[in-house]
Amino acid sequence: MTVMPRKPKHLGPEYQGCVDSMGTHDKLRVAILGSGNIGTDLLVKTLRSPFLACTLFAGRNLASPGMAKASSLGVRVSDLGITAIIREPECCDLVFDATSAADHIHHWAVLEKLGKTVVDMTPSQVGEMCIPALNLEDCLNYRNVNMVTCGGQASVPLAYFIGQVHPEVEYIEVVSSIASRSAGPATRINIDEYIETTEKALRVFAKAERAKSILILNPAQPCIDMQTTVFAKVKHLDLERLRPLVEKMVRRIQAYVPGYQLAVAPILENGRAVITVKVQGRGDYLPRYAGNLDIINCAAIAMAEAYARARIPVLKDPQYGGSPHD
Amino acid sequence: MTSVLISDPTLRDGNHAVQHQLDARQIALYAAAAEAARIPIVEVGHGNGLGASSLQVGESLLGDREMLETARKRLVNSKLGVHAMPGFATINRDLKQAVAVGVDVFRVGVHCTEADIAQRHIGYLRDKGREVYGVLMMSHMASKEVLAEEALKMESYGAEGVVLMDSAGAYLPCDVTEKIRELVKSLSIAVGFHAHNNLGMAVANSLAAVQAGATIVDGTARGFGAGSGNAPVEVIVAVLEKMAFSTGVDLYGVLDASDIAEKGLMRVIPSITSVSVVSGLAGVFSGFAKHVERISGEYGVDARDVFFELGRRNVVAGQEDLIIEVAIELAAGKRGGGCI
């Protein structure tokens, strides 16, 4: 069942963009798959973006809180999941997949044929790993980008500089603590994939021989803010060079994740390099403690906006087989 | 005569007491002694279990495989057990290996409100035909109703019992009675209890658990474990026998095993230090003790202030990184100490 919003948007094959409230601006049309915490928070952020318009919010249960939120915001909703896009492929240019790692594999098989650009929020390891502070431009060349994990978004840019400053990184470790209430069912069922995906990103971006990732769900009430620590074992830790680079990177991330803060500047403790950051969310869908949702979603929005600004050249690139909009 | 299953994590929780530096000789020594004492389950590994050797918690001298293989060779009638926390241990990297090594008993541990992150791990291990228990850690942080709800989830995933851990040594006997009774009432599987001795309550709490219907009790040789240690297994066995519970453990054997552990495994016998009293009052995971002592020294702050502040922040096992931040803030005079 697809439910039209109170103010139906005119959708059709001829429709190539969306007119915002000022009636002047072409926006990239975005569908969100998955109506859980991630999908719903993404929706709120998409609606705020000057470059993006949400033309479909698709999940499996119209009675879910996310669906109710989307309906209240006047967004078109469907409980048919991916089928809603199969039935009406022209409804969107880009799809945020906020379902689960296992579902994403099936979704990508469908969306690739439909010529969609996909920003994958799950730890599926299918698409190109995207950390906007590091490789946003490169990612424009890919039709499926993977937003790694919340802990990956918080830590990989810092780990990257550890890898840049030191010729050999023997070992990198990242520990993220998040509030229990901020982790929905898909996050929980995917905890092993979270670990594996974060570790892969650390090995790749920090050029580390070995990497380990740990995720802690903290039951405390009131909820704790997201906290992420990067540990490293390197020969001859160069704090003098590392500190300004880390501070610069923190400012760069703050440009798209306003609540990202350095809590412990790089130090050497007990033979370990240590950097700690805290992430507070903007409080869009879940409260501010859910910095984990905020950081991965802010990163995804930054990526989608980059596609929008580049007018998704990949869709016109013949090597990808074109798109229904060509 | 009601029987109680004794599970002995001397070679796992005790690893916290020596910064995870137990070596192969020590593991072989105690595993053989525990076998001789007919201790039913001998848990082995890094203090936080499979896959937990890390800069965050401490790197273990030996890898999981070597620790488990060493113990496996010494255990015939006693079962080889492990602790595995989703978030540290993954199925692909850690559980598969432990299954291949021949671990008999898996205890899948989560913080007290997080049962559902153990669903796949418990399911996987039951599919492999292993004995699986669910463990609710830091259980003082949740009410009896919440604990019962989480334990029921574990039962539905296939756990054959659920163990409440007093990871911070924060319980008084009345707390144990209330919570264990609720679990016994709610579950159709076994209920267990794992004590820490920060407030001197480890044996009393274990007895309260048994009297409230628990049929699994953890104890370690001389209490060898994190912080001020666990309930001493030799005392638990003796007291349970005196109270007419049967454990199947040989009294002289477990007394000998404790003597062997004291000489062969420990730098010092665990005791209730001033700092560990504060740790228990503050409700902070016992495994933090060594880190807090070291980091407090480095930053010139009072370890007791650090524990109270960590308690205020509701830290759980695996959040050791917060210790540095708290010590730095205390050193900079941002926080006062001293109250709960």
Same domain, A72 and A18: yes
Residue A85, pLDDT above cutoff 50: yes
Same domain, A11 and A29: yes
Nearest-by-Cβ selection for B91 from A188, A192, A217? A192
Residue A320, pLDDT above cutoff 50: no
Shortest distance between the Cα of A218 and any Cα of chain B, in A, equals 6
Q: Which helix (H) or strand (E) holds A54?
A: strand A52-58
Q: Which residue of B has its CA nearest to A220?
A: B314
Domains contained in chain A, number:
2
Same domain, A92 and A210: no
Which of left, alpha, beta for B301 (phi over 0: left; psi -120 to 50: alpha)?
beta
d(CA B108, CA B127): 14
Q: What is the pLDDT of residue A309?
A: 92
- pLDDT by residue (tens digit) across B197-212? 999 999 999 999 999 9
Same domain, A63 and A139: yes
* Domain membership flag for residue A325: no
Range of the domain at A274: 150-289
Q: Which residue of B has its CA nearest to A180?
A: B114
The residues on B that touch A, with CB distances below 8 Å, are 54-56, 86-88, 90-92, 110-114, 116-117, 119-120, 138, 141-142, 294-295, 298, 313-319, 321-322, 324-325, 328
Nearest-by-Cβ selection for B316 from A173, A192, A218? A218
* Domain membership flag for residue A252: yes
Residue B335, pLDDT above cutoff 70: no
Residue B149 structure tokens: 């709800």
Nearest to A82 by CA among A201, A2, A187: A2
Tell me the mean pLDDT in the region B69-93. Answer: 98
* Domain membership flag for residue A294: no
Among A54, A130, A139, A150, the active-site one is: A150
Same domain, A81 and A132: yes
Higher-confidence position of A8 and A93: A93
d(CA B119, CA B43): 21
pLDDT-derived band at A187, boundaries 50, 70, 90 = confident
Residue B137 structure tokens: 């850690």
Same domain, A10 and A101: yes
Residue A42 belongs to a domain with what CATH number?
3.40.50.720
pLDDT-derived band at B156, boundaries 50, 70, 90 = very high
Nearest to B71 by CA among B129, B26, B130, B131: B26
Same domain, A158 and A267: yes
* Domain membership flag for residue A304: yes
Q: Give, in degrees to the nearest 5, the angle at Cα B61 between B293 and B97.
A: 125
Residue B180, pLDDT above cutoff 80: yes
CB contact under 8 A, B90 and A195: yes
Same domain, A142 and A170: no
3-state DSSP assignment of residue A65: helix
Nearest-by-Cβ selection for A217 from B56, B87, B142? B87
Tell me the mean pLDDT in the region B261-281. Answer: 96
pLDDT-derived band at A185, boundaries 50, 70, 90 = confident
> What rounded mean pLDDT belongs to chain B?
96
Nearest-by-Cβ selection for B318 from A196, A214, A269? A214
SS3 for chain B is: CCECEEEEEHHHHHHHHCCCCCCHHHHHHHHHHHHHCCCCEEEECCCCCCCCCECCCECCCCCHHHHHHHHHHHCCCCEEEEEECECCECHHHHHHHHHHHCCCEEEEEEECCCHHHHHHHHHHHHHCCCEEEEEEECHHHCCHHHHHHHHHHHHHHCCCEEEEECCCCCCCHHHHHHHHHHHHHHCCCEEEEECCCCCCCHHHHHHHHHHCCCCEEECEHHHCCCCCCCCEHHHHHHHHHHCCCECCCCHHHHHHHHHHHHHHCCCCCCCCCHHHHHHHHHCCCHHHHHHHHHHHHHHCCCHHHHHHHHHHCCCCCCCCHHHHHHHHHHHCCCCCCCCC
Same domain, A158 and A105: no
The amino acid at residue B157 is Y
pLDDT-derived band at A318, boundaries 50, 70, 90 = very low
The amino acid at residue A79 is D
Which of left, alpha, beta for A247 (phi over 0: left; psi -120 to 50: alpha)?
alpha
Q: Considering only A218-227, B21-30, B209-218, B245-254, which range has the smallest mean pLDDT?
A: A218-227
d(CA B239, CA B218): 14
pLDDT-derived band at A1, boundaries 50, 70, 90 = low
d(CA A309, CA A87): 28
* Domain membership flag for residue A263: yes
DSSP-assigned beta bridge partners for residue A26: A19
* Domain membership flag for residue A13: yes
d(CA A141, CA A320): 10
d(CA B143, CA B140): 8
Percentage with pLDDT > 90 across chain A: 81
Same domain, A95 and A157: no
- pLDDT by residue (tens digit) across A115-140? 999 999 998 989 999 999 999 999 99
Same domain, A128 and A163: no
Q: Considering only A96-100, A308-312, B89-93, which range has the smallest mean pLDDT?
A: A308-312
Q: Which residue of A has its CA nearest to B146?
A: A219
Residues of B with CB below 8 A from A218's CB? 111, 314-316, 319
Through-space distance between the first and last CA atoms of chain B, rounded to whole angstroms = 43
* Domain membership flag for residue A191: yes
SS3 for B222-291 is: HHCCCCCCCCEHHHHHHHHHHCCCECCCCHHHHHHHHHHHHHHCCCCCCCCCHHHHHHHHHCCCHHHHHH
Domains of chain B and CATH, by start: 5-264 (3.20.20.70), 274-331 (1.10.8.60)
Q: What is the pLDDT of residue A167?
A: 86
Q: What is the pLDDT of residue B333?
A: 86
Through-space distance between the first and last CA atoms of chain A, rounded to whole angstroms = 29
Residue A220, pLDDT above cutoff 80: yes
Q: Considering only A316-320, B153-157, B262-266, B299-303, which range has the smallest mean pLDDT?
A: A316-320
Same domain, A213 and A187: yes
Q: Provide the CA A51 distance to its chain's centre, in angstroms.
A: 17
Residue B340, pLDDT above cutoff 80: no
Residue B95, pLDDT above cutoff 50: yes
* Domain membership flag for residue A326: no
Residues of B with CB below 8 A from A264's CB? 324-325, 328
- pLDDT by residue (tens digit) across B212-252? 999 999 999 999 999 999 999 999 999 999 999 999 999 99
Q: What is the pLDDT of residue A2?
A: 62
Who contacts B138 (Cβ-Cβ below 8 Å, separation ≥6)? A219, B111, B112, B165, B167, B168, B283, B285, B316, B317
d(CA B36, CA B8): 13
CB contact under 8 A, B325 and A264: yes
C-alpha R_g of chain B: 18
CB contact under 8 A, A231 and B55: yes
pTM as predicted: 0.91
Residue A215 belongs to a domain with what CATH number?
3.30.360.10
- Rounded to the nearest 5 percent, the helix, strand and coil shares of chain A are 40, 25, 35
**A54 tagged catalytic:** no
**Complex ipTM, two decimals?**
0.94
pLDDT-derived band at B334, boundaries 50, 70, 90 = low
Tell me the mean pLDDT in the region B286-301. Answer: 95
Who contacts B35 (Cβ-Cβ below 8 Å, separation ≥6)? B42, B74, B75, B76, B77, B78
